[in-house]
Amino acid sequence: MRMHEELIQNLQERMDKAIQNLRREFATVRAGRAAPSMLDHVMVEYYGAQMPVNQVASVTSPEPRLLVISPWDKSMLSEIEKAIQKSDLGLNPANDGNVIRLTIPALTEQRRQELVKQVRKMAEEARVAIRNIRRDGNEEIKKLEKAGDLSEDDVRRLMDRVQQLTDKAIAQVDRLLEDKEKDVTQV
């Protein structure tokens, strides 16, 4: 029975990671409000290595529609500015020689709809990942049954537990999606 608990534990951890990944992805989707996490995927060249902006500068949000980026090394200002312009954020950095200011424009209705589609796609990818984890778990259970390590009752019980984990994880994805859609569509 110990092996079965490890199997369930492993599946639970993998599903939790899929949900954490979705949370990280959602954090990068801007919803008309400034959030330092919007810049998490913006990479800047720093002494020959690609680094996230938040590792070469402090990123703050003093107002709901403003991000202020203060590089620890002022020589990085133009590099950070270029990286933001090259990113797919569609933001225009204002460099005053000390800090970079990013004004987050209000979202148009069309842009909101695009963002809703984007977050729905992210959520669906998370659901697919969770269902793949369920499939892997069920295949592992069937292998154990073939090897004679599990009775039919054990197989049924374990598959029910795997399905319960899956249902719980997908419900969590749905709640995250609902919250993010509200966030994106609020004016």
Structure tokens belonging to residue 78: 């133009």
Task: Note the pTM of the prediction, 2 decimals.
Answer: 0.69
Name 74's Cβ contacts closer than 8 Å, sequence gap at least 6.
97, 98
User: Tell me, what amino acid is at 147?
Assistant: A
Which part of the chain is CATH 1.10.132.20? Answer: 1-30+108-186
Kindly list the distances between the CA atom of residue 3 and the CA atoms of 9, 10, 115, 144, 158, in Å, as whole numbers in the listed order. Answer: 10, 10, 43, 10, 11
Residue 164 has a pLDDT of: 96
- Positions of CATH 3.30.1360.40 in the chain: 36-103
Q: Does CATH number 3.30.460.10 belong to domain 36-103?
A: no
Which of these, 56, 21, 42, 58, lies nearest to 133 by C-alpha position?
21
3-state secondary structure of 61: strand
Cα Dmax for the chain: 71
Identity of the highest mean pLDDT range in 49-63, 108-122, 166-180: 166-180
Q: How far is CA 45 from CA 58, 85, 88, 111, 163, in A?
A: 16, 14, 17, 30, 45
Mean pLDDT of the region 108-123: 88
Tell me the two tokens of residue 147: 């090897």
Residues sharing a CB contact under 8 Å with residue 164, sequence separation 6 or more, in sequence order: none
152-172 confidence digits (pLDDT tens): 888 899 999 999 999 999 999
- Fold exhibited by the domain 1-30+108-186: Topoisomerase I; Chain A, domain 4 (1.10.132)
3-state class (DSSP) for residue 44? strand
